[in-house]
């Protein structure tokens, strides 16, 4: 449920896989495969908010799919932890952006520059999501809230679909080339499916401002934790 509400699923699921004795890389790729069900449940639960977002999602899908694929390839070919010192900083910025007032649309050349920056940010977040993904949803949610999403619920629905695409393409690569622990995928995927189906309902009916504050605070707490782990 935390994944489809705030993009924080991996904060719980990844340590749970480590706790049952999986090595870090195996836990990471297993987590990514299980989170495919988070995308399915989120899409299922977010259908009202997805109405009217089809064109935006179709434009963003190639960017996020490419980012997820490259991130997965980096995980399989580079030393683990390449992003660990950058992520806490990004997460602080994203958490503050979530609680700040949303951005307003721009016109003309400035609007075109904003669109280019928006899709570049989508690619970067999707790349990180394919590589590791802890709090990638928070980064995506902050981005969509500050490029003119109609509401928190609409931004959350778009985030769930686009990040789900990046996660799915990464999961396909991991299923082929990485040591996925399939027995662990079953209960974790089932929990992701059920929880993510309920998450959009919570976002739809919860007061937007307190929920944004809660997500922002949770992101800041996570940033401190990740920063401590990265820089100690």
Mean pLDDT is lowest, of 46-55, 183-192, 205-214, for 205-214
DSSP 101-120: PPP----HHHHHHHHHHHHH
DSSP annotation of 100: S
Q: Once rounded to an integer, what is the mean pLDDT over residues 163-189?
A: 95
Q: Once rounded to an integer, what is the mean pLDDT over residues 66-90?
A: 79
Helix, strand, coil shares, percent, the chain, to 5: 80, 0, 20
Number of domains in the chain: 1
Sign of CA dihedral 116, 149, 217, 137: negative
Around Cβ 187, how many Cβ atoms within 10 Å? 11
pLDDT, residue 80, reads 58
Question: For residue 93, what are the domain limits?
Answer: 2-231
Confirm if 161 and 45 have CB atoms less than 8 A apart. no
Residue 36: enclosing H or E segment and its boundaries? helix 36-45
Mean pLDDT is lowest, of 84-93, 125-134, 167-176, 187-196, for 84-93
Tell the burial category of 94 from Cβ atoms under 10 Å away from its Cβ (0-12, 13-18, 19+): buried
Reported as a pLDDT band with limits 50, 70 and 90, residue 73 is very high
Confirm if 188 and 27 have CB atoms less than 8 A apart. no
Sign of CA dihedral 216, 218, 224, 229: negative
């Amino acid at each position: 449920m935390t994944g489809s509400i705030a993009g924080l699923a991996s904060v719980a699921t990844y340590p749970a896989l480590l706790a049952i004795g999986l090595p870090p890389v195996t836990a990471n790729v297993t987590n990514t495969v299980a989170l495919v069900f988070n995308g399915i449940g989120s899409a299922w639960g977010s259908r009202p908010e997805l109405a009217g977002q089809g064109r935006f999602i179709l434009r963003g899908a190639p960017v996020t799919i490419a980012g997820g694929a490259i991130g997965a390839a980096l995980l399989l070919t580079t030393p683990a932890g390449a992003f660990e010192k950058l992520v806490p900083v990004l997460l602080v910025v994203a958490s503050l952006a979530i609680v700040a007032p949303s951005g307003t649309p721009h016109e003309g050349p400035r609007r075109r520059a904003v669109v280019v920056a928006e899709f570049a940010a989508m690619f970067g977040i999707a790349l990180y999501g394919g590589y590791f993904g802890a709090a990638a949803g928070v980064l995506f949610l902050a981005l969509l809230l500050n490029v003119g999403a109609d509401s928190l619920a609409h931004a959350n629905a778009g985030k769930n679909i686009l990040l789900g695409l990046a996660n799915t393409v990464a999961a396909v690569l991991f299923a082929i080339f990485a040591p996925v622990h399939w027995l662990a995928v079953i209960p974790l995927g089932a929990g992701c499916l059920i929880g993510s189906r309920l998450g959009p309902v919570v976002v739809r009916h919860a007061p937007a401002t307190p929920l944004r504050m809660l997500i922002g605070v949770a992101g800041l707490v996570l940033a401190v934790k990740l920063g401590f782990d990265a820089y100690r």
